[in-house]
Amino acid sequence: MDRSRLYRRFRTLLIANRGEIACRVIRTARAMGLRTVAVYSDVDQDAMHVALADEAVLLGPARARDSYLNIERVIAAARETGAEAVHPGYGFLSENAEFAQACLDAGLVFVGPTAEMMTAMGSKSGSKALMEKAGVPLVPGYHGEAQDEAVLAEAANRIGFPVLVKASAGGGGRGMRVVSSAGELSAAIVSAKREAKAAFGDDRMLIEKYVQNPRHIEVQIIGDSHGNLLSLWERECTLQRRHQKVIEEAPSPTLNATQRETVCEAARKAAGAVNYVGAGTIEFVSDGKNVFFIEMNTRLQVEHPVTELITGVDLVEWQLRVASGEALPLKQEEIGLNGHAIEARVYAENPQKNFMPSVGRIKTWRTPPEAEGLRIDAGYRSGDNVSPYYDAMLAKVIAWAPTRQAAIEKLNRGLEETDVRGIVTNIPFLSALVTHPDVRANAIDTGFIERELKKLTAEKGAAGAFELCAAVAAILNAEQRAAQTDASSPWQTFGWMPVGRRQRVFSFRQGHGPEQTITLHYGNGSSTLSVGGHEQAFAASSVDDSRFDLTLGGIKSRVASVIEGHEIYLRTRNGRFDLHWVDPFGGESEEQVGEDKIVAPLPGTVVALLAEEGTTLEKGAPILTLEVMKMEQTLRAPYAGVLKKLKCKVGDIVGEGVELAEVEATAS
């Protein structure tokens, strides 16, 4: 290979990705003086990464395989815009050796390892064989080429249940299933293969012994074309759901100094086995005593900011410098470790509904200002649409502090001050997670979230008198701001009247609970609010269009609010609350989809039909599987009955609310 073709200086960079990572790469590239080119699909034409780039090219229709995964179109976009280099981000084509080679063949610099390195380490089975030869400890498992079900079943029986069925080319928990017994294996393989094929275009599987009570530890490495290879300490990524990381921190609170050096040395040995060039991550699983190699990710990781915050290194800048042929600027002994950093992934999903992805338009996007030790990496903003076609991650909230406990407190504060409306997010779930006593004490493993899920997703308490008073103040604040055409108007003061004293009654409902009434008394003198017969003075002063200071009973508190018609969102000292302002003139109606209908909960693709028409079904029996935001959702019978009609077929793209099957209840 002519390595001179791999490295050269460039001034225009195409980012072959979208969302948060595209925005993050654009910012660093711009700071380095590079011109940036974004790519986008039909549904992303108004996306944040498109707006940030100097130039943007339409790739094609919404589905990833027709746009972001279309190698020929991405290469053509680089040629059309004069880009000399391509940064793949993570996901999509970032670990696709064919894409890396296509960039090289087109005369483009690929910001990452070579296709050969990617092939050697990107395959879970291939990399394990390489690591075994290099003396890196492995989890017992099957990594062979034979993929028929009988071979996989024999391997699982030999290893012993429970086992992990895992996509060889996968990542992010997709194409991965924990199998507890031989009877569950066949269905798990079929499902994992289908999901892997859709996500990565490769359905090859490997089987591993499932490590009980495991911890997930990974080491950030980076190498250059001059033979230098560094490790930048480790990250703990044990808090996961469905094998998808949720909270990540650096350094690992589990390892002592000796263990830390041991795992970092093993990571350097692993990457050195292929003379690795570029940024990558060596992932390990620990059973509390031993550490085993899992895989190498030959790309930047979602959680790379925590490493950046403890080392002071901009990993994207180092990626770009390495890709242009420069040597790494520091030696191993010069890589510092300062303080503790922790990151939470903000997703468009509903924890109360089994983390079902949420789609729609973001009506409100508010994050706290980035102060010392707080960083927000976002790919969305107010007015953006969250589509069902891509990963549901919206942003990352990252905190740094001198100690782990201080970093957790700062992260939680950042989450508490983040308000996203119009879609459902996992922000309250993240706050509950990082403040859980066992998380603070680091008494966790990768199954922690599943075990504590009921507690972590518990419905919040009922709104109290303070929230009702805050709802009234929010309405008055909104009304006043709407009327502020005259700066000298007396209506800028809550409840002002020239003479007399009057009252105004408000009614609110939380969820399907009863109406609660609160009375505002205003006019001459101080305004008061009366709840449940208890009257108290109140005052409110506007901070901006969404926040105000509420003084009640002599205590002043900051309240954030969003009003959308008669729906009121409040963030108070007691948490987050959604209230419905009951229309005093009546005429309200709420259309609900009955739970007895088999309807698409979100736009998606039908990937499997699991029952035939005429089949007798028990309550909860699986009927069909949808792929929504790259995750599979199985729809089940709402009651015992007969599957009267299937109204879809495999491959159908269906909209939200579309009826997919009809079940006739069994007569009781």
Pairwise CA distance, residues 351 & 345, whole Å:
13
Cβ neighbours of residue 453 closer than 8 Å, sequence gap 6 or more: none
Residue 586 lies in a domain: no
Q: Is the predicted pLDDT of residue 1 greater than 70, yes or no? A: no
Q: Is the predicted pLDDT of residue 593 greater than 60, yes or no? A: no
Pairwise CA distance, residues 146 & 154, whole Å:
11
Residues 481 and 574 in one domain: yes
In angstroms and rounded to an integer, the radius of gyration of the C-alpha atoms of the chain is: 27
Last residue of a domain, one of 433, 459, 485: 459
Residue type, 196: A
Pairwise CA distance, residues 395 & 398, whole Å:
10
Pairwise CA distance, residues 68 & 18, whole Å:
8
pLDDT of residue 485: 54
Least confident among 86-100, 428-442, 487-501, 571-585: 487-501
Residue 171 · residue 95 · CB < 8 Å: yes
What CATH number does the domain containing 628 carry? 2.40.50.100
Residue 587 lies in a domain: no
Mean predicted confidence (pLDDT) in 192-209: 89
Q: Report DSSP state, residue 409.
A: H
Residues 106 and 9 in one domain: yes
Q: Is the predicted pLDDT of residue 6 greater than 50, yes or no? A: no
Q: Is the predicted pLDDT of residue 168 greater than 70, yes or no? A: yes
Domain encompassing residue 615? 598-665
Structure-model confidence comparison of residues 343 and 532, the more confident one: 343
Mean predicted confidence (pLDDT) in 3-9: 53
What CATH number does the domain containing 497 carry? 3.30.700
pLDDT of residue 592: 36
Pairwise CA distance, residues 449 & 460, whole Å:
18
Residue indicated by tokens 């909209």: 655
Residue 118 lies in a domain: no
For 123-130, which contacts have Cβ atoms below 8 Å and span 24 or more sequence positions?
A: 123/168, 123/169, 124/166, 124/167, 124/168, 124/169, 124/170, 124/206, 124/294, 124/295, 125/168, 125/204, 125/206, 126/168, 127/295, 127/296, 128/206, 128/293, 128/295, 130/273, 130/274
Residues 350 and 286 in one domain: no
The pTM is what?
0.80
Pairwise CA distance, residues 539 & 543, whole Å:
13
Residues 474 and 548 in one domain: yes
- Coil/strand/helix, residue 4: helix
Q: Which two tokens stand for residue 328?
A: 């790494």
pLDDT of residue 482: 77
Helix-strand-coil percent breakdown of the chain, rounded to 5? 30, 35, 40
Mean predicted confidence (pLDDT) in 413-421: 96
| Mean predicted lDDT score pLDDT of the chain | 89
Residues 132 and 261 in one domain: yes
DSSP string, 538-600: EEEEE-SSSEEEEEETTEEEEEEEEEETTEEEEEETTEEEEEEE--TT---------TTSEE-
Structure-model confidence comparison of residues 384 and 586, the more confident one: 384
Q: Which two tokens stand for residue 627?
A: 């792929």
pLDDT of residue 165: 94
Residue 591 lies in a domain: no
Give alpha helix (H) positions in 425-492: 427-434, 437-440, 448-451, 453-456, 465-482
- Domain count along the chain: 6
Residues 186 and 290 in one domain: no
Structure-model confidence comparison of residues 173 and 393, the more confident one: 393
Residue 289 lies in a domain: yes
pLDDT of residue 319: 98
DSSP string, 323-355: HTTPPPSS-GGG----SEEEEEEEESEEGGGTT
Of 299, 345, 375, 421, catalytic: 299
Residues 497 and 577 in one domain: yes
Residues 503 and 474 in one domain: yes
pLDDT of residue 554: 86
Cβ neighbours of residue 343 closer than 8 Å, sequence gap 6 or more: 247, 248, 249, 303, 305, 306, 396, 397, 398, 399, 411
Residues 204 and 223 in one domain: no
**First-to-last C-alpha distance (Å) of the chain:** 74
Q: Give tens-digit pLDDT for 433-463.
A: 999 999 999 999 999 999 999 999 998 788 9
Pairwise CA distance, residues 393 & 151, whole Å:
36
Residue 267 lies in a domain: yes
Residue 393, φ and ψ in degrees, nearest 5? -75, 130
What CATH number does the domain containing 300 carry? 3.30.470.20
Q: Which two tokens stand for residue 633?
A: 């959702």
Q: Is the predicted pLDDT of residue 299 greater than 60, yes or no? A: yes
Residues 273 and 134 in one domain: yes
C-alpha distances (whole Å) from 44 to each of 48, 50, 358, 365, 390 are 8, 8, 17, 18, 11
Q: Give tens-digit pLDDT for 510-534.
A: 987 889 999 999 887 788 999 988 8
Structure-model confidence comparison of residues 632 and 405, the more confident one: 405
Pairwise CA distance, residues 258 & 582, whole Å:
62
C-alpha distances (whole Å) from 545 to each of 186, 366, 481, 548 are 56, 12, 7, 8
Give alpha helix (H) positions in 273-403: 304-311, 315-323
Residue 55 · residue 81 · CB < 8 Å: yes
pLDDT of residue 596: 60
What CATH number does the domain containing 15 carry? 3.40.50.20
pLDDT of residue 553: 83
Last residue of a domain, one of 298, 315, 337: 337
Last residue of a domain, one of 430, 459, 488: 459
What CATH number does the domain containing 181 carry? 3.30.1490.20
Comparing CA positions, the residue from 250, 270, 145, 131 lying closest to residue 202 is 145
Residue 166 · residue 128 · CB < 8 Å: no
User: Would strands 515-523 and 528-531 be described as parallel, antiparallel, or unpaired?
Assistant: antiparallel
Q: Is the predicted pLDDT of residue 154 greater than 90, yes or no? A: yes
pLDDT of residue 651: 86
Residue 288 lies in a domain: yes
Mean predicted confidence (pLDDT) in 547-575: 92
Q: Within 10 A of 381 (CB to CB), how many other CB atoms are there?
A: 15
Mean predicted confidence (pLDDT) in 245-256: 96
241 in active site = no
| pLDDT band for position 248 (cuts 50, 70, 90) | very high
Residue 634 lies in a domain: yes
Residues 330 and 344 in one domain: no
Residues 492 and 620 in one domain: no
Pairwise CA distance, residues 309 & 328, whole Å:
18
